[in-house]
Structure 1
């Protein structure tokens, strides 16, 4: 194999596929990036057996020749060293030559690097996915849905299914749900799809979705979601992102969400977030994260936290609307802050069915986001 390639395009592709590399892989060859070159361009593939990412660099892009190919071929190069050395090479044009068996020579400017590669025939094949259930979603919307749900997955491996986000598509649209037993995040969006494209009980690791979010384009480009029995493929322009689905049955979270409320308040997201953030500083020092919220008759909220060593924070903010019973309630301020920060709304509605029932947090407006937090029982 012999070719020359523009550094910026190679760097970008390495950055994308490296997100699938892990230092703990039981299969030694998976510590490398598979490099395939032909007349169409170069394909880079990386995998940790759960995630596989493939990036394609076309030979020509926007009228600019990106790759000059002298000889087609394949090789697996050590990911960490290959990625770091490419970043540091002096010239924008990089020449890569592979000689038998798999010895790589990389030249750029006055630099020449020798690297020992591995046999590409030993690299695992890409997962096979039946392309029956396919739906296209704007990349920026998919990114937002991930951000508004993946933060609430469980970090405990004792219940592996809860470390994932439950994804489903039906006549109501696309829905993502995450729950760690203490809180829940749910995002729905209308999406036109035929019944043959519907899927349910598809659970994708929260960590995997966060890695996907890093490679999703910000612009309004479409990403195909292709679902099969044990794999899901996210297909973007020149990028394929495969993920193994989590096995198991996700619990029915609909029973957690109250349908009627005793108390509802609407308040400025900014005022509420900033007040809880200041109270969180003290609750964090106490290592409890407990913040108290008291509803007053004069349409205000009192937010407070205390520390036996440092003192107390109390502040009052106005409420735009308050209906129902006045409550005193305690909650985990870290969970509340994380819920508020992903709402993307100027106003927020908090709904309660009692001091010891779930708190429901929703943005004002058309966006269907629902956050749920379980309150704390406190002695006073």
Structure 2
């Protein structure tokens, strides 16, 4: 194998596939990156057997030559060393050549590295995904849907299914739901499905986090293919495979209250900053709890009190408060996570009593919802 390539393209692809490579793997060859030089260009692959990422660098793009292939072939190189080398090479072009016994030479300018390669035949094959069930979604919408839900997955392995995000697609609508049983995040969007199929799968939160780091903030379409145990995201020159979590996701629709006793409309940023300040003195206390109460004339109060540290009280002028008076306590962290995930300047918070879950939505937007369970403090 022998080819020369533009360094910036190589660095970008290496960075992408490195997101799937881990040093903690039971299969030693997976600590490497597989590099294949073929007729069309160069393909890099990284995998930890849960996530696999394949990045393709075409021979030319928009009339510019990116790769010059001199000899076809394949090799696996230690990811840790290869990625560091590529980032620090001195010139804009890199030549990679595999010589006898998998010895690989990396040249750039006056610098030359020799790395011991591994046999690419031993590298596990990527999952074979039949593309009969697929739908399409713009990249920026996909990133937004991940950002607005993935933070609410559980970090505890006691219920593994909750470490993933539930994706349900039916009637050309995709619904993403994440919950750790103390809070819930939901986002809906219109998608183009073929044959109007319906799906109900759980994608690991870790996979979605890595995916959103790689895909660009454009409205380029991304194809999503779902099988029994894998999901494949196809972007331009990029394939991202993830295994699905096994098991049934709990029915969360029962958690979301349909009616409310107190509705508060408030400016998102003002509310977020007030809770942030209140949490300064709550950090040491029980789970970072802040209290929220409605006062007269549409004023709401955010406070926290930790006897050994001190207390903070802040009043915010809401746009409206309707319904019963209310005092409730909740985790400041959960509330701040939820507010940061919502788009829009104003939000409506609907309460159904001091010990019932409450719902936060952007005003005039039914596609997004955050739900939080209160904390018992009284």
Please indicate the TM-score interval, normalised by the length of the shorter structure: over 0.9
1:73-152 counterparts in 2 under 5 A? Answer: 73-152=73-152
Distance 1:92 1:342 in 2: 40
Which deviations, in whole Å up to 9, do the C-alpha atoms of 1:166-202 show, x marking residues without a partner?
00110160110001010000000122434543212x0
> Which secondary structure does the structure 2 equivalent of 1:211 belong to?
helix
The aligned residue for residue 226 of structure 2 is: 227
> Which secondary structure does the structure 2 equivalent of 1:274 belong to?
helix
1:372 and 2:375 aligned: no
> Which secondary structure does the structure 2 equivalent of 1:285 belong to?
coil
Measured on the aligned residues, the alpha-carbon RMSD in Å equals 1.0
Distance 2:331 2:155 in 1: 17
The aligned residue for residue 321 of structure 1 is: 320
Instruction: Decide whether the 8 Å contact of 1:135 with 1:197 is kept in 2.
Output: no
Instruction: Decide whether the 8 Å contact of 1:132 with 1:197 is kept in 2.
Output: no
The aligned residue for residue 191 of structure 2 is: 191
The aligned residue for residue 307 of structure 1 is: 306
1:167 and 2:174 aligned: no
In structure 2, relative to structure 1, the CA distance for the partners of 1:10 and 1:194 (3 Å cut) is closer
Which deviations, in whole Å up to 9, do the C-alpha atoms of 1:329-367 show, x marking residues without a partner?
000010000000110210000001111100101011335
1:265 and 2:251 aligned: no
> Which secondary structure does the structure 1 equivalent of 2:11 belong to?
helix
Distance 1:316 1:172 in 2: 43
The aligned residue for residue 352 of structure 2 is: 353
Instruction: Decide whether the 8 Å contact of 2:289 with 2:332 is kept in 1.
Output: yes
Which deviations, in whole Å up to 9, do the C-alpha atoms of 1:4-52 show, x marking residues without a partner?
1110000000000000001111000000000000121000011000000
The aligned residue for residue 340 of structure 1 is: 339
CA-CA distance at 1:281 after TM superposition: 1.1
Instruction: Decide whether the 8 Å contact of 1:35 with 1:76 is kept in 2.
Output: yes
Instruction: Decide whether the 8 Å contact of 2:133 with 2:194 is kept in 1.
Output: no
TM-score, scaled relative to structure 1:
0.98
> Which secondary structure does the structure 2 equivalent of 1:94 belong to?
strand
TM-score, scaled relative to structure 2:
0.98
Distance 1:345 1:284 in 2: 28
> Which secondary structure does the structure 1 equivalent of 2:101 belong to?
coil
- Count of residues paired in the alignment: 378
Distance 1:52 1:173 in 2: 27
The aligned residue for residue 251 of structure 2 is: 252
